[in-house]
Structures are given as structure tokens and as C-alpha cells.
Amino acid sequence: MTEIDVRTDSYVVDVPTGQSLTLSWASVTDTGRKRQVNQDALIVDYPIFAVADGMGGHEAGEVASAAVIARLAERVASGETVDREAVENALRAAVSDMLEQVGKSDLGTGTTVTGIVFGLSGENNDVPSWTVFNIGDSRVYRLFGDELVQVTLDHSVVQELISIGAITPDEAESHPHGNVITRAVGFSDEPLPDYTDVPAQDKARWLVCSDGLTKELTDFGLRHFLLQAPTPEDAVRSLVDAALENGGRDNISAIVLDELLIANS
């Protein structure tokens, strides 16, 4: 196995149902086998777990992804609620940071960002749930039982072609425009993510990852490793090792998080 730097942690949330929700997670970001610089960045700090994959000339991509993660981390550190508005404010601030640090360039400066945020929803604010957010082609998956679901929808040329029936998902794997995304944080558009709300559920497992992982592993492969691994640490090790063995053509980042509901005595 390749030596990779895996970070692990956990957090216990007392939820209004009279139960405790234990969140256990592991994360890794790796430069891969072909790139000289890692332009991915992560935040794994309750209540937010997210991946940003930077792009742009020279060090611009690295600056862009770091700016997004720094602004999200700033919000967590403040102790204030992390909600949709907070995420969007953090992304706007990050765009300003990018312009200040890199300036305008012909190649542009930007980053994807995708992740999950824990919170309480419902009429009485008593339903433990996750807000999934996404800009770009990094992804969030959810494994429950033996079913793996891609929760996010890529903002990419090939996804648009799939959506209109012009190509199949299999054809998308080798499409010449496979790296072209249609939305990012830091270019001309307002950085507004797509959102999906998902209730917390006992024994659910989440995967948040950059496209460096999904370029090397099919959904079938992702599901296999997520099902086989007993812990989040085992899961990220298996996933990233497999991606590196398959070529590691891009930076690879992955967060695996498990949910476990326990009744309070």
C-alpha cells in the first residue's frame, strides 16, 4: 500500500429525539502520481465537511481552494451557525481573497467546492439533517445499506450532455471535454451552490471527494470499497490506494463519514 496521510476524528451530537448521533470520519488529500502541486484543500471540522479542487494557471488553483476552505473554517471557528447563508457569504469572501492574492489572469482562477453541513431542520427545528452543497464536479455520495447514491450533480459539459441524452454515462468516461466544468467559485458567476437536504440516518456513510478519485474509480468501485471497509479510515485508505494504483492522474481527496445513532439511557 502507498503511504498516505490519513486524519481521523469524531464528534457526538445530542439530538432532540433523545438520542446521541456519533459522527466518525477520516480524510486524506494526496498530490497523486502525475501532478507536482496539490491544488485540493479540505475542511473536516464539525459541522462542515467539504472538499475544494482548485484550477487556474501557476499557483492560482491552490490559492483558490485554500481561500474557500479558510473562509469556511473561519465561520466554524466563530461559533456561529453554519447554514446556507453562511456558506454563500464564505464563498463570496473567498472570491475577493482570490482577486486580492492572484489578481485577474487570462486563465482565470477558481475552484470547485462540495460538502455536507450538519444541522437541525423541520418546523420545530428538531430534525437532525444534512445540507449537501455543490459547485463544480467534486462529488458527494451517500451509502445506506448496500445502495450508493450520488447526491450531487456535476456542473460539467459531459453531465449536460448526459442530461439531454447526447451521450451515455459510459461514453462520458472518455469524452474529450471530460475536464470542462460549467460552474466554479471564482470566475464570473455568483458563487451560489446547488443544495440538497438529507435527514440524518443511523448507519449511513458519506463520501465527499474531488474528481481525482472519481476519474480513477467507477461508482461500482467506490461502492465496493465503501461496503468492504469497517471504518472510515479503512475506507479512505482503500479508496485512495486504488485510485493511485489506477494511475493517480490528478490530485485525490476524500472524506468518509459514518453516522451512528445511540439511544440515551
- What percent of the chain lies above the pLDDT cut of 70? 84
pTM strictly above 0.85: yes
Higher per-residue pLDDT: 90 or 122:
90
pLDDT, one tens digit per residue, over 92-101 is 999 999 988 8
> What is the predicted pLDDT for the residue at 19?
87
Reduced DSSP (H G I as helix, E B as strand, rest coil) percent helix, strand, coil of the chain, to 5: 30, 35, 35
> What is the predicted pLDDT for the residue at 127?
85
Provide the grid cell at 193: 451552490
> What is the predicted pLDDT for the residue at 151?
98
Cα–Cα nearest to 28, from 207, 155, 215, 259: 207
> What is the predicted pLDDT for the residue at 105?
61
Per-residue confidence band for 67, with pLDDT thresholds at 50, 70 and 90: very high
**Is residue 48 over pLDDT 80?**
yes
- Cα(163)–Cα(119) distance, rounded to whole angstroms? 31
**Is residue 157 over pLDDT 90?**
no
- Domains of the chain: which residue ranges? 7-263
Class of residue 250 by CB neighbours under 10 A (exposed 0-12, middle 13-18, buried 19+): buried
**Is residue 171 over pLDDT 70?**
no
Q: What homologous superfamily does CATH list for 7-263? A: PPM-type phosphatase domain (3.60.40.10)
pLDDT, one tens digit per residue, over 101-148 is 877 665 668 999 999 999 988 777 788 999 999 999 999 999 999 999
**Is residue 8 over pLDDT 70?**
yes
C-alpha gyration radius of the chain: 18
Do 129 and 119 contact (CB within 8 A), yes or no?
yes
> What is the predicted pLDDT for the residue at 262?
85
